């Protein structure tokens, strides 16, 4: 599994998504509850950026129609989304946030 540097930990404000692109893959990074999560930045329902939504209780909400996705599993919590979005492994090395977009969890 190969990891790419996404940003520094200091670039991530608590509960504020940050969009990055890694090897052409749009990724929303979220620092919450003492962890950093990486989830595909495109809502499975409406093809809009999840990083523009709000984070609460380890969920990210799509701003367009209100579906929320679990940052750990990518599963939606309710309609209108029915399909999960990919989540990616994250590791922290020093102050660097590394993400593997080659392998989905």
pLDDT tens for the chain, residues 1 to 105: 799 999 999 999 999 999 999 999 999 999 999 999 999 999 999 889 999 999 999 999 999 998 999 999 999 998 899 999 999 999 999 999 999 998 655
pLDDT of res. 1:
78
What pLDDT is recorded for position 21?
97
94: left (phi over 0), alpha (psi -120 to 50) or beta: left
Instruction: Say if residues 103 and 88 touch (Cβ distance below 8 Å).
Output: yes
What pLDDT does 102 receive? 86
Q: DSSP state, 76?
A: B
pTM of the model: 0.93
DSSP-derived secondary structure letter, 88: E
Residue with tokens 């990210």: 60
Strands 59-61 and 68-70: antiparallel
- Do 90 and 97 form a contact (C-beta atoms < 8 A)? yes
Check residue 105 and give its pLDDT.
Answer: 56
């Amino acid at each position: 599994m190969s990891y790419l540097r996404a940003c520094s930990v200091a670039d991530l404000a608590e509960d504020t998504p940050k969009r990055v692109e890694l090897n052409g893959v749009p990724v929303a990074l979220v620092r919450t509850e003492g962890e950093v999560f990486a989830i595909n930045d495109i809502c499975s329902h409406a093809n809009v950026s999840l990083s523009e939504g709000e984070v609460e209780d380890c969920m990210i909400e799509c701003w367009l129609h209100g579906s929320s996705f679990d940052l750990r599993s990518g599963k939606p919590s309710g309609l209108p989304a029915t399909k999960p979005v990919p989540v990616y492994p994250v590791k922290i090395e020093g102050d660097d946030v590394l993400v593997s977009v080659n392998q989905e969890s």
